[in-house]
Structures are given as C-alpha cells and as structure tokens.
Amino acid sequence: MSGAALLGGLDPAEFLRDYWQHRPLLVRQAMPDLASPLSPDELAGLALESEIPSRLVLEHGATPWEVRYGPFTEQDFAQLPPTHWSLLVTDLEKFVPELGSLVEPFRFVPDWRIDDLMISYAPPQGSVGPHTDAYDVFLLQLHGHRRWQIDTRPVAADNRLPDTPLSIMREFEAEQEWLLAPGDMLYLPPNVAHYGVAQDDCMTASIGFRAPSQKDLLGAWLDDRVAALDPERRYADPGLSPQGNPGEINRQARSRAVALLREALAADDDALAHWFGCYVTEPHVDLACLYPAAREWTSAGLRRHLQEGTELLRNPAARLAWFRDDRQLHCFADGEARSLPPAAQPLVEYLSLEHRYPAAELLQRMNDTGATLLIWLLQRGILELPENDDE
C-alpha cells in the first residue's frame, strides 16, 4: 500500500510536514475492504499465552476502570459482563509475524520510532476511558464501529482520576467526534485527549510510536555509565594537609570530587550517538521465547546455505538500525552494535529495509565483512533460517 493511499491522498512528506506531531487526521477508508486479520476468539486465545502482554480494562469492575493483567484463562473471559470492558493485546507483530503487514505501510516513519502493534476487542460500550498518550498513534478500525471523541486543548495536570494505572481524565469535553467503520483510521499526535467507545462488537488496531522522554534517556545512559565504571576507582587525596576546621569541605576536596564526577560523565557526541543507537534498538519487553536456540556459524557454513538457495529471515522481534559517520558505518541490533567499513553499507541498508532475504540478494551484497556481520546476526537470532531449514 502506498503512503498516499493510507493517508487519504496525502503524500507522506506532506503528512509529516503538516500533521505529524501537529494535529489529528481522520482518513476514511485508509485501508479499503480491510478484513480483520484476527477474530475476537483468536485475540482472546493469544491473551491466554503467558509470553504475550495483555490487559483487561473493566469500566465497572472491582474499582472504577479496573485493570487486570494476563495471561488469562477461559474462565476469566466467561465471567466478563456483556458490556463496558476491553481486551488489549500488545506486541502482536512480534508474536504473529503475519500481522506485520498492518505495520509495514507506516514505515515512512523510521523503524526505531515504531513501538508495536496493539489490537483491542470490546463489546458494546467497551472503552479505556478518556485519556492522553505521550506518543503518536494511528488507530485503525478492523471490525465493528467505534465512536472517537477528541479534545486538542491542553490537559491540566490535576485532571486525572486517582488510584488507577490508566491516565484517565476526570473531566472530558469533546471538540470533535467521528464514527469509524472498518478501514477507517484516525491519527493522533502526542497528548491529544481522546475517548473511544465501541458501538458494537469492535476491534481496533493501534500502531504506536516510541518517544523516549529526556528523563528516560538520561536515566538509561547513566545506568549504563555506572555499570561500566571501575568499582575500585575512588576519591583519593594524597598529600592531604591539616585544616583548621574539620567541618569545612575545602576547595581542593570539592575540586577532586567534581573531577571524579566529570570523568565518569565524560562522553563526546559520537559516543552518545552510538549509545543512542543501542538504546533505541533494545527490545522493551522480554522476547527471549521468540529467538531460536543459539548455534555456531562459520563463514563456510553460511556460504553453503546461501549457495544452496536458502534464504534468511529477520526475526520478527528483532530491531535493526544503522547510521554512518565520517569514518565508519554503525549497525545496531537488539541493543548491540558493530562498527563496519563503509563498503558494508549496501548490505546493511538491505538488511534494515527488508524482512525476508533471498540467497541471491545476499550473495550479491556480501563480501568478507558482510559475511562476518551476517554470522554475528545469525548467532544472536536476529536473522534466522526458515523453519524447515534450521537443522
């Protein structure tokens, strides 16, 4: 699907300029003739799995807007009321690779910004309440009808219900509202208040985007810096002189302490950019169950597989990204990094663009450095063989 069809005739560049992080956009029939790729029963079945993140939100549960976390049982679903609840299942494109087709059209936004695909089911009047999100989201109607109301005015900090894990607003007044049918889509920038209520049996896909806060970035960077420090590196003051008042922290002591801290925090722009590449490709949930068992690869073994025509696949849970600086190409995969010569760029670009890699395409782009990169990715489960070829 072209970006223009998805965005109601807008070119992706126009959308990013005029709407992305600026204002909402309603697109009627963004995906015409769309049929939900999952039934409600199939979605509920996924919520029974212990590895797949899921939640139930009950408007009138044990508490107002009660949240229950999966995995669930069939009995849990059998005891639900007929209305006013929602089931939400996240990270679905990682657990059900076929669902990646719902995310693919949105890759005009960089991959590292795409967070996950969530699909929700709700009976009539099911909702998660009026709320805001701190990230961009596309809300694609898969089945049934949902009424969306939005308010673009700033939300006061005290306009939140207390004692609920959801960021639900105490007061909400709609500026605009629409009824979405299958194939319709609503884009919302961060912090736009919205309230979606199912009008019948309803399924909605949410394609959400990562937006790390400054606090998140700094906290994660500091954690990594602390982990890398030498635990034996301590404050030291050889040649200490007696001082008149023992309660004083004198200038020399302050200077030594500040120098020790600055040494620990020192990082140039290149080092910070390299850390950022690792950070944004690190999976944000435990997806170990989706990775194949570790195995050793050799250059000869890889070439044999490729010369026999065996394609490689990208693990649906894996995150790949890259950038090039003045000296090297840097490839990032699931929070780890490899620095490569610029000649590796055609292979790295190809790997980050596609998810399925025919053997002929890889051989065409592969030199000795490329073979080393592919082995590194295979040994980490970032790339894998088709299921019937993993002997």
153-181 confidence digits (pLDDT tens) = 999 989 999 888 888 999 999 999 999 99
Distance separating alpha carbons of residues 139 and 24, to the nearest angstrom: 11
Per-residue model confidence as pLDDT tens digits over 179-234: 999 999 999 999 999 999 999 999 999 999 999 999 999 999 999 999 999 999 99
Contact between 140 and 100 under an 8 Å Cβ cutoff? The reply is no
266, 228 Cβ separation under 8 angstroms: no
At 164 the pLDDT is 84
Q: Report how far residue 312's alpha carbon sits from residue 314's, in angstroms, rounded to the nearest whole number.
A: 7
Nearest Cα to Cα of residue 207 among 99, 68, 70, 45: 99
Per cent of the chain over pLDDT 70 is 98
68 phi, psi to nearest 5 deg = -115, 140
Tokens standing for residue 281 = 């490709």
Would you kindly state where each structural domain of the chain is located, as residue ranges? 3-209, 213-227+250-266, 288-386
Sequence-separated (6 or more) residues with CB below 8 Å from residue 67: 55, 56, 57, 164, 165, 166
What global pTM score does this model have?
Answer: 0.92
Kindly tell me if the per-residue pLDDT of 2 is higher than 70: no
Instruction: State yes or no: pLDDT of 73 exceeds 80.
Output: yes
Class of 288-386 in CATH = alpha beta
What average pLDDT does the segment 12-34 reach? 96
**250: pLDDT strictly greater than 70:** yes
Question: Domain 3-209 is classified in which CATH homologous superfamily?
Answer: Cupin (2.60.120.650)
pLDDT band at 390; cut points 50, 70, 90? low
pLDDT higher than 90, residue 313: yes
Among candidates 360, 298, 368, which has minimal Cα distance to 340?
Answer: 368
pLDDT, residue 391, reads 52
Q: How is residue 289 annotated by DSSP? A: G
Closest to 338 in 3D by CA, of 376, 379, 380? 376
Say whether pLDDT at 3 is over 60: no
Q: What is the pLDDT of residue 167?
A: 86
| 388: pLDDT strictly greater than 80 | no
pLDDT band at 295 (very low <50, low <70, confident <90, very high): confident
**% of the chain beyond a pLDDT of 90:** 90
Using the predicted structure, report yes or no on whether residue 110 has a pLDDT greater than 80: yes
